[in-house]
Every structure is written in C-alpha cells, then in structure tokens.
Amino acid sequence: MRNLNWNGYFNARDLGGLPTPLSTTGSTVFKRVARGPRREMLTDSGWAEARQWGLSTVVDLRCMHEVGGREGDPVIDNFTHSSLVIVSAPTEDQDNPAFREVCFPILDSPEYWRHNWRILPNLVRETMQAIANAETGVLIHCSAGRDRTGMISALLLGNAGVSPDDVAGDYAESVRAMAGAKTHAPTHDRQASWSVTEADQWIAETASIVREAAANTDAVFDTIGLSQDERSRLRELLTEA
C-alpha cells in the first residue's frame, strides 16, 4: 500500500503505514505525505492518479537550475497540475563554498546530511516549515527522490516516532529503486550504474547513518532552529487521523 504507482513515476511512496507509538492508529497516516523523484517524470494520467491520492501541494527540494523538463520527459497538458501549489524549498545552496567543498563529493550518500543542516540550517528549516504549512496531501521530491528527499523523510518519520530501523528501511527502498537509473542529478551520481548487489552493499554500509538521523531528530531540529510548534505540527501531520 505504501508504493505509489503513478504513471511515469517510480521510487514513489506514501509515508503512511509505518509503525509508531505516537499515532492514534498505531502507524503513520496514509495520504498525508508522499516522497518521490522529479515531478517532470509524471504523465497526464500519473498526475490524475496523484490527485486521486489527494495531492494538493508539491514541495520541491531542488535548486532552481534543476527544475524543468528534460529530454525524454513526457509531454503533458498545461492544465494538468495548474491548480496545485508548488513550493520551491531547496535544501542546498550549491554555490555556497563550504557546502560545495564538504558535500559535493558525497551528495549521493547520507553522509552529507549532517553537513547540510550544519552548513545551511536556514534552508533545511525553511523546507520543514514549508511542509508544516502545507495543505494535507504533500509530495516531497528532489531529483532522484533518494538523498535530499531521503534526508527530509528521515527527519519527518523520526519526528513522528517511527523506529530508526524502519526509517533506514524506507531509505533502503529508494536506494534499490534508483540503482542503475538516470536521475539528471546536478553532480555525478555513482549509483546510476549500480547493480542490485552493489546497492545492497551500500545499504549495509550506510544504514547506521540513517538510523542516527532518525533517532536524533530533536537535536537536528535544535540545530536548524525549528520551533516546538512546528515540530508538533509535523508530527501531527503523520500521526493524527
């Protein structure tokens, strides 16, 4: 039930259905937040399926130079998503010298997450605020739907009381989904040529980083300056039926 088979789209999942003691239903609530790759991959029928799911707001984590159609993207009707709210909320400033030096070599790894919120806390905070302020039915996406989206999803799920192991499992699904897939990422993506075996080895090597992020969301939110009210709203988004 978590996988979203919107036409033209892959590596897309609902963040609902994961066990948490903080939820009134025992698990995160479906049809509140979804994660995925670049939205330009969706066909007209894919957008229709997303609307049927309940999509109202798209929170785009990419930098502005990454946004827009690319060769091979489907041609869609101009009115297909005209009534949706699309929020630009980049987690990265790729012109920032410190970010470039520290993070560019590891942008396809959760290793860079802690540097992202340390170097650019205001951008990560503004992303979380955009989600907290959005109407229910939010799609969060970046390019591959794996690393930036993985970082924000890990924080959302950890804040909602989902176990670090389950959060790491969610990240692993995206690694497997994107292994060997072209993503139009702004930097070299070594995973674009990986086999399933290489992806599984990577998951084993990096799972502890994802678990640590999920287990320490309050410390991360302290670092970025997210208010207690905003933390509560994000938690309720995924736990209040």
In this predicted model, what pLDDT tens digit does every residue of 44-93 receive, in sequence order? 999 999 999 999 999 999 999 999 888 889 988 876 677 899 999 999 99
Give the whole-angstrom CA distance, residue 66 versus residue 64.
5
Per-residue model confidence as pLDDT tens digits over 102-112:
999 999 899 99
| pLDDT averaged over every residue in the chain | 94
pTM above 0.75, yes or no: yes
Q: Are 226 and 125 in contact (CB under 8 A)?
A: yes
Q: Identify the pLDDT of residue 29.
A: 98
Question: How far is 1 from 176, CA to CA, in rounded Å?
Answer: 18
The DSSP letter of residue 19 is: B
Sorted by where each starts, the structural domains of the chain and their CATH numbers stand as 13-232 (3.90.190.10)
State residue 35's pLDDT score: 98
Gap between the Cα atoms of 84 and 51, Å rounded:
9
Does the pLDDT at position 184 exceed 60? no
What is the model's pLDDT at position 34?
98
Q: What's residue 79's pLDDT?
A: 66
| 201: pLDDT strictly greater than 80 | yes
Torsion, Cα of 168, 16, 234, 226 (10° steps): 20
Q: Which helix (H) or strand (E) holds 103?
A: helix 97-103
When pLDDT is cut at 50, 70 and 90, the band that residue 186 belongs to is low
CA distance 9 to 186: 20
Query: Does the pLDDT value for residue 218 go beyond 70?
Result: yes
What's the pLDDT at 55? 97
